[in-house]
Amino acid sequence: MCEEHEPLGELARRAMARPAPWRWDPLLWCDVLGRLRGAVPLDRLIVRLSAAVEIDNDMRRAP
C-alpha cells in the first residue's frame, strides 16, 4: 500500500475502516505523510486530494 511510508500504512488501514468521507484513496495518506517529510511534491498532493474530494462528493450524491 505505502511501502516507503510504513507508519502511514497503518494510518491508511484505520482510515479505510471508517465511514465516508474518510475512506479515501490510501495513496492520498501516503502522499500526505510524504509531503510532511518533504519527499512528495506539492502538486502531486494537490492532485490526489482533489481526486479524493471528487470521490467524496460523488458518494454523497449517490442514492
Q: What is the pLDDT of residues 24-42, one digit of tens each?
A: 566 777 777 777 778 778 8
d(CA 45, CA 62): 26
pTM of the predicted protein model: 0.46
pLDDT of amino acid 49: 76
The whole-chain average pLDDT of the chain stands at: 67
The letter for the amino acid at 59 is M
Instruction: For the chain, give the percent of residues with pLDDT over 90.
Output: 0
Binned at pLDDT 50, 70 and 90, residue 1 comes out as very low
b (16+ CB within 10 A) / e for 12-43: beebeeeeeeeebbbbbbbbbbbbeeeebeee
User: For residues 53 and 22, is the Cβ–Cβ distance under 8 A?
Assistant: no
